[in-house]
Chain A
Amino acid sequence: MDEEKPLTIEQFYKFIGEKRLMAVRCEGCGALFIPPRTICNRCLSKDLEWVEVKNRGKLITYTVIYVPPVQFQSMAPYAYGIIQLEDGPRIPGMIRNVEPGDIEIGMELIVDFEEEKDGEQEQQGRQGWPRWPRYFFRPP
């Protein structure tokens, strides 16, 4: 059961691997957090639990990165933004399947999940920690 899963970043990405966008909800004040925390930074409650959130949101701000970190070099230039999910929390990520010129603040985006092919992590030099799958944003 989800309730028994640890409230950790590692577990957040395990859910991403299952194509589920999960937040933790504070039972004290109702605040939602991505990634999970074990102390609510609003009301200090330590009573938090996993909840699934809808994978839809609106773009708050964005950029197009031309000079990327080494491991993202093959993807550049790529768009990157922050979305506000319909359920409240904000998350950052890459914006794909849309021309940079067509990106607008306020546009609707959905959170999608990378397909992990066998051996892909090793090919990308992603050995050792962490071995997390990735999510990204795209137009609905």
Chain B
Amino acid sequence: MAKPLASIVSAGLSKFGKREGVSGRELFVEAFKEAMERCPSLDPRKDIQALIIGQMSESFEHQCHIAPITSDWAGLLPTPAVRTEVACASSAAAIRYGVLAVMSGVYDVVLVGGVEKMTNRTTPEATEYLGMAADFPMEQWNGVTFPGLFALMATAHMHKYGTTEEQMALIAVKNHHNATLNPKAHMRKEVTVEQVLNSRMIAWPLKLFDCSLISDGAACAVITRPELARKFTDTPIQIIGSGHGSDTIGLYEREDLTSLMAVYRAASEAYKMAGVEPSDIDVAEVHDCFTIAEIMAYEALGFCKPGEGGRLIEDGVTTLDGSLPVNPSGGLKAKGHPIGATGAAQLYEIYLQLIGEAGDRQVDGCEVGLTQNLGGSGASCLIHIYRRD
């Protein structure tokens, strides 16, 4: 394995859910406080030199310019702050540019994270704001929705590979089960295959329980140069690979609708940088915005061959007691999907897993973890690979 790019010395996560009356900046402070409590030897005002914060949309709270607000509300001013935005992958971008910032030598310690407040809006409003991550002139203008875009991929995947609605339902069943073990998850409720299949149609073949949740939440992590990490904690986690792939904004322009090329591209960069293979991964958090997206992520990450993602879940490989647990947190599906917080929340879960503090959902003996965060219908993807120090 390669030498580390950077180290995580602490991380925090707000409770995810319908956090009525709590604004985005307040959610961020909740996550920040946990990160500070976990790392008493860090002096936030003195040590944190910059904030890089992901957020998808200013529409939900009618609030642009979130980055300096997070610096201010966390009591870190005049520490400089900047926002990253690549739709649903916004805070994985914050992680990547945080890693690059400490690698550059300009900063020793940066706070990365993300936040999204969503449930203050009606579902049609939220649907419209989320839809803005799709191409406007051809896709939004002609009536597509986000579930609609993933439904187009699901239909193509079913047609080409014989993937079934039952296999997609199994993703929901697994992730809902994992979320019952996560006290910070939005929806801690088991579902059955029948319940998923009989739930309300959203965009055929995707039903309500194939879709992730509209949630409020925030997450953050403190990143430093590997050689400084032990100054702050005895249990740093190394970031050993970072990959970033892009693709056309329009789904219709992609040659193969059954595979996400941005994920392949990001995975190839991250695996190469980390010096690991898909078979080295012990635990992963992947972008299950819709159940089909987790199946397609398995394939693009090399956990199975193209077209075999449905079989992988059917065989139980990715359940908590399987050989490669995926989304132990409950995923976007059941932990919740506050868009801008999701990438950093994936990091938080892998951080907990690797330091052995994931409680009832702990994956025993995991050494190497991976996060995969997708933007929009796949125009962006960021992947990170982590290992115990």
Which positions in A face B, CB cutoff 8 Å? 9, 12-13, 34-35, 60-70, 72-73, 75, 77-78, 80-82, 90-94, 100, 105, 130, 132, 134-136
Contacts and interface: CB of A to CB of B under 8 A. Distances in A.
A80 B203 CA distance: 10
Given A61-B156, A63-B203, A81-B152, 20 more contacts: A35-B137, A63-B152, A63-B155, A64-B203, A65-B151, A66-B200, A68-B145, A69-B124, A69-B143, A70-B125, A80-B144, A80-B148, A82-B257, A91-B138, A92-B138, A94-B143, A100-B204, A105-B159, A132-B137, A135-B142
A75 B252 CA distance: 22
A69 B142 contact: no
B204 A66 contact: yes
A81 B154 CA distance: 12
Contact of A65 (B125, B148, B257): B148
A69 B253 contact: no
Contacts of B137: 9, 12-13, 35, 130, 132
B262 to A, nearest CB: 15
Closest 4 CB pairs of A and B: A63-B151, A64-B204, A61-B156, A92-B252
Contact of B144 (A92, A100, A134, A135): A92
B155 A62 contact: yes
A122 B321 CA distance: 57
B140 interface: yes
B253 to A, nearest CB: 7
13 contacts: A63-B203, A63-B204, A64-B203, A67-B203, A68-B143, A69-B143, A73-B124, A82-B252, A92-B142, A92-B144, A93-B143, A105-B156, A136-B142
A105 B137 CA distance: 24
B155 A91 contact: no
Nearest to B150: A63
A123 B153 CA distance: 33
Contacts of B389: none
Nearest to B143: A72
Contacts of B145: 65, 67-69
Given A80-B148, A82-B252, A61 B257 contact: yes
B128 A92 contact: no
Nearest to B211: A67
B152 A82 contact: yes
Nearest to B149: A63
Contacts of B250: 92
A63 to B, nearest CB: 4
B202 interface: yes
Interface string B229-270: 000000000000000000000111100010000000000000
A78 to B, nearest CB: 7
Interface string B121-163: 0011101100100000111111111011001111110010000
A61 B124 contact: no
Nearest to B138: A92
Interface string B320-361: 000000000000000000000000000000000000000000
B349 to A, nearest CB: 29
Contact of B141 (A66, A67, A73, A134): A134
A100 B253 CA distance: 24
B201 interface: yes
A83 B200 CA distance: 27
A64 to B, nearest CB: 4
A135 B142 CA distance: 8
A90 B252 contact: yes
B141 A62 contact: no
A65 B203 contact: yes
A130 B141 CA distance: 9
B152 A61 contact: yes
Most chain-B CB neighbours within 10 Å: which of A34, A80, A91? A80
Nearest to B151: A63
A66 B257 contact: no
Contacts of A73: 124
Most chain-B CB neighbours within 10 Å: which of A13, A60, A130? A60
Contacts of B200: 66
Given A60-B257, A66-B201, A100-B204, A82 B127 contact: no
A140 B140 CA distance: 25
Given A63-B155, A67-B127, A70-B128, A93 B148 contact: no
Contact of A132 (B141, B154, B203, B257): B141
Contacts of A80: 142-144, 148, 152
Most chain-B CB neighbours within 10 Å: which of A35, A77, A82, A105? A82
